[in-house]
Structure 1
Amino acid sequence: MRCANYTGFKARVGGAAAERGADASVRDGAPGLTAPQQPSLGLRGGRDLQRGVASWYGPGFHGRRTANGEKFDMHELTAAHKTLPFGTRVLVHNPRTGKEVVVRINDRGPFIKGRVIDLSKAAAKALGFNARGHDAVVLREVLPERGNGDIVAVGLDS
């Protein structure tokens, strides 16, 4: 147990902090913690859809056809997911770096056990784990800005 003034604490996925919500530590006035940056697209994250390990793919697949028929571009913010419909936009949060990015599902995968999503190289770079190859992530539904009634993400059928 650390003293209340310890500022080197980094929140992790799971545990009591996750049950209270990502911003609960900020609302509670915990020292040294700041709210994660919201995406600059005017979107905000809703409920958590899935937690797990993400990996990325790029050079070997660049220019090849994805499962939905379009050409894969490793420089776009896209991803492969096993069950989410094509075109679904998902906010991907990296708890280790605190970074978030909104990706569009355009492919199927990942095909490695234990992985929940395969991101494009650009998305992995935006989340700060392209050099690592894989990292823990939280997938969140994308909610439109207040006042806009469009639905842009769906839940998972588990």
Structure 2
Amino acid sequence: MKRFISTLIFIAICAVVIAQEKGKASYYADKFEGRKTASGEIYQHQLKTAAHKTLPFGTKVKVTNLANNKSVVVKINDRGPFIKGRIIDLSKSAASEIDGVLPGIIDVKIEVIK
């Protein structure tokens, strides 16, 4: 029972720590259209989805482009990015909504939506 309670406390602390994060975002290349994501869903450019290394699948995240303050809400349905310094990979439509397609890599803040 103590181990169970310790685990719950650890999860709660992790959730608070990761509730907001800043870093680099990129977006999925065209070659990923129609491929299966880690959650089992099929990736589609027009859906507002994203990949994150640790957040649970289905988590809603507000992503804000720090250069222009534009935001988009995405659902985590994949794992990644696996390139050092990047914290989230956005679907192409999500990146487009916050003007992230042309630069390719942008500085963002991500916030978990409760």
Per the TM superposition, whether the score is higher than 0.5 is yes
Please state which band the TM-score falls in when normalised by the shorter chain.
Answer: 0.7 to 0.9
TM-score (norm 1): 0.59
1:75 and 2:51 matched: no
Report the equivalent of 1:137. 108
Matches within 5 A, 1:1-158: 49-142=20-113, 152=114
Percent identical pairs in the alignment equals 51
Deviation of 1:48 after TM superposition, in Å, equals: 5.3
C-alpha offsets along residues 33-68 of structure 1, whole Å, 9 cap, x if unaligned? xxxxxxxxxxxxxx9511000000141100000000
Q: Distance in 2 between matches of 1:137 and 1:86?
A: 20
Q: What's the secondary structure of 1:79's corresponding residue?
A: strand
Q: Given that residues 48 and 138 in structure 1 are in contact (C-alpha distance below 8 angstroms), is that contact kept between their aligned partners in structure 2?
A: no
Structure 1 residues not aligned, in runs of 5+: 1-46, 143-151, 153-158
Q: What's the secondary structure of 1:60's corresponding residue?
A: helix
C-alpha offsets along residues 64-115 of structure 1, whole Å, 9 cap, x if unaligned? 0000001100111000000000000000011201100000000000011100
Structure 2 residues not aligned, in runs of 5+: 1-17
Q: Distance in 1 between matches of 2:20 and 2:68?
A: 19
Q: What's the secondary structure of 2:26's corresponding residue?
A: strand
Q: Which has the higher helix share?
A: 2
Rg bigger for which structure? 1
Task: Output the aligned Cα RMSD.
Answer: 1.3
Q: Given that residues 80 and 106 in structure 1 are in contact (C-alpha distance below 8 angstroms), is that contact kept between their aligned partners in structure 2?
A: yes
